[in-house]
Amino acid sequence: MTIACKNDQKKGETAEVVTNEKKPNIVVIYLDDLGYGDVGAYGATELKTPHMDALAAGGIRFTNGYASSATCTPSRFALLTGIYPWRNKNARILPGTAPLLIDTAQYTLPKMLKEHGYHTGIVGKWHLGLGTGHVNWNEAIKPGPNEVGFDESYILAATQDRVPTVYIENDKVDGLDPNDPIKVDYHKNFEGEPTGKDNPEMLTMKWHHGHNNSIVNGIPRIGFMKGGETAKWSDIDMADHFLAKAQEYVRSHKNEPFFLYYALQQPHVPRTPHPRFVGSSGMGPRGDVIVEADWCIGEFIKTLEEEGILENTLIVFSSDNGPVLNDGYYDDAVEKLGDHDPNGPLRGGKYSMYEAGTRVPFITYWKGKITPGVSDAVVCQMDLLSSLAALNGDDQEYGDSRNLLGALLGNADKGRDELMLEASSKTALRKGDWILIPPYKGVFKYDHVNIEIGSMPTFQLYNLKEDPGQQKNLAEENPEKLREMIADYTRIRGK
Ligand code: NG6
Ligand code: CA
């Protein structure tokens, strides 16, 4: 990986000695709400994901790979900063108007890679806030991704179901007509603007819970928005649009080491497959957008191949949190599920302290470098910062991020000893095969999404090796293990 320059002994002549190994490009392919059981390589049989499966077959498939949180914003915060999201009280699902969550002075994964000579880019979902609290969407929108380490950014600000429903290129709304300024408000509507609640006749997709504010493309959203007609995205074209931007990024930076964070929006709601994918899964829009995402990944990898850089690119594939079926719209996700189980063998789902909340598909792939295999090492997305620093010769560990480079490249069996997982502002500790969920107030199950969050008045202790579905609470049966886990939990959380 070293590029050495050496002065030739002959007078006046300089020879450049470049070793065969070049710094690898790094691509993080990140899905939104893709479950542990949603991928063929992780056991899905009803849903076909050939391109994700090919990554798994040619790389390391982690059976204990984790997001840091069971929701989006906190997971993405940890991925980029290497810091546990529960250390930051604002690291929770953000509205589209939230200020930038990451301090611009914070060391981040893209900043680290920049220091090591990488060009850095993000394409896709951001959801980490923008600006300082009073964003004027018609001017420069700062600080944002470009202020925390990305040289280039092309993003959707929050989520596909939240306003503003426009793309932002670096700090500008893409395609904005200055004569039709955008206004956004999360508290009150703009006079005369229709809403999902009051104008059901205008809707092409019906809301189930929440999601009844401004209507864009027939879909009711969270939050109110006015103006910006020419800048509004087309939901059915979003996957193609982000794919084209990701491909464009690769083509323009193929001659230098680059880091691309390609954050796809699927299968988060609203699920809006392009017409050529409608019906492709037989499971309704949720399955169809997973097939669409899989196709995008295949096309993206084809681009790396065509540009001759696949062998020099380390790909990390994962998801920001676990699966949910009904997340606020009537879209047949429940009705057409059939025999598919997005959780695989795990309990819970998005928002949950149980395993399906945070344990997600997690694959590393580096053609010709990584020997394909399956790893049971506990690894977390938060560890990418220190691990990729190590790949660049920096053995420091940053924040809560551990150097697991050996495990990630398939050279070591060992991952983390312990990992604190976050879900809806609550935490659970994984240590070895054990997981501890402390007592929490609040509902055990979120009825609107039909997911067990896991709050109980007593301690829960599970052995994940013997009981991956977390059915048998061993807290009473194994007081010694319980005491040990409580001590570790208290040491880490400091209370
Ligand atoms: C919830 C939304 C849900 C989804 C989630 C964020 C309601 C009722 N539910 O508040 O639909 O948008 O936030 O998902 O509004 S995440 O993957 O970005 O964390
Ligand atoms: Ca998500």
Q: State which of 75, 125, 155, 159 you would mutate to test the pocket of ligand 1, scoring each by most atoms of that ligand within 8 A of its C-beta.
A: 159
Q: Which atom of ligand 1 is nearest to the CA of 32?
A: 17
With H, G, I as helix, E, B as strand and everything else as coil, classify residue 225. Answer: strand
Q: Which amino acid is at 418?
A: E
pLDDT at 213: 98
> For 321-356, how does the pLDDT look when each residue is reduced to its tens digit (9 = 90+)?
999 999 999 999 999 999 999 999 999 999 999 999
Ligand 1, closest atom to CA 159? 18
| pTM, 2 dp | 0.95
ipTM above 0.90, yes or no: yes
Please tell me the number of the ligand nearest to residue 93's CA. 1
Q: If you measure from the C-alpha of residue 340 to the centroid of ligand 2, how many angstroms do you get, rounded to a whole number?
A: 20
Q: Is the pLDDT of residue 5 over 60?
A: no
In this structure, which residue's CA is closest to atom 16 in ligand 1?
72
Atom index in ligand 1 nearest the CA of residue 222 equals 15
Q: From the alpha carbon of 268, which atom of ligand 1 is closest?
A: 17
Q: What's the gap in Å between 71 CA and the centre of ligand 2?
A: 5
Q: How close is the Cα of 223 to the center of ligand 2, in Å?
A: 18
From 209, 222, 358, give the residue whose CB has the most ligand 1 atoms within 8 Å, as the site to mutate: 222
Give yes or no for residue 215 having a pLDDT over 90.
yes
Instruction: Identify the pLDDT of residue 21.
Output: 55
How is 319-364 classified by DSSP, letter by letter? ESS---S-SSEESSTTTT-TT--TTTT----TT-SSHHHHB--EEE
Distance 470 CA to ligand 2 centre (A): 23
- In this predicted structure, the answer to whether residue 12 has a pLDDT above a threshold of 70 is no
Establish how many alpha carbons lie within 13 A of residue 41's alpha carbon, considering only the half-sphere containing its beta carbon: 26
pLDDT of residue 6 exceeding 80, the answer is no
How many whole angstroms from 131 Cα to the centroid of ligand 1? 21
> Ligand 1 centroid vs 119 CA: distance in angstroms?
32
Confidence bin at 14 (pLDDT 50/70/90): very low
Residue 222 β-bridge partners? 162
Contacting residues for 468 by C-beta, under 8 A, at least 6 apart: 345, 346, 355
Q: What's the token pair of residue 382?
A: 């938060």
- At 370-423, the pLDDT tens digits run 999 999 999 999 999 999 999 999 999 999 999 999 999 999 999 999 999 999
Residue 243: helix, strand or coil by DSSP?
A: helix
Pocket of ligand 1 (CB under 6 A): 32-33, 71-72, 93, 127, 159, 161, 209-211, 222, 268-269, 321, 327-328
Give just the sign of the alpha carbon dihedral 420, 424, 425, 426.
negative
Ligand 1 atom closest to the CA of 321, numbered from 1: 17
Q: Of residues 17 and 301, which shows the higher confidence score?
A: 301
pLDDT at 495: 65
**Is the pLDDT confidence value at 17 over 50?**
no
CA gap 427, 438 in Å, rounded: 8
Mean pLDDT of 11-24: 49
Does position 492 have pLDDT exceeding 80, yes or no? yes
Distance from residue 91's CA to the centre of ligand 1 (Å): 14
Ligand 1 atom at shortest distance from the alpha carbon of 33? 17
Asked if residue 109 has pLDDT above 50, the reply is yes
- Average the pLDDT over 117-146 and give the result: 97
Mean pLDDT estimate for the chain: 95
Q: Is the pLDDT of residue 11 over 50?
A: no
